Copies of this chain bind each other. A is one copy, B any other.
């Protein structure tokens, strides 16, 4: 196991509809096959209604040898899920694995590049 094995955990809300969860899984697949990607491990996780949970996702990353984890909130706005629920789950795991740094990245909606994606889709 490398000392610098950074994992990316893409955390989405989760849906009762499997098709919606599969969209997140497909995005994760797309990211994981990017040429030159920094992350050796890229996984999805869901806050609720789907598997794996955030806890399970972090455990999977660690089992696969992650020495560091970046949790990415795949949310459009900084609502309670982003500001409270995701950090709460992550904090529990930080206490359990103090030797593994777990960072929470800025949520998707914070990237102003979203305006470009919108314009691509409507024009």
| A interface list, Cβ under 8 A from B | 8, 10, 12, 15, 17, 19-20, 23-24, 27, 30-31, 34, 37-39, 70, 72, 74, 76-80, 105-123
B114 touches A72 (CB 8 A): no
- Select one of B10, B78, B116, B122 contacting A118, CB under 8 A: B10
In whole angstroms, what is the CA distance A109 to B118 when docked? 10
B78 touches A115 (CB 8 A): no
Extra pairs beyond A108-B118, A111-B117 (4, CB < 8 Å):
A10-B118, A20-B78, A34-B115, A107-B121
Q: How many copies of the chain does the oligomer comprise?
A: 2
A69 to chain B, nearest CB (A): 11
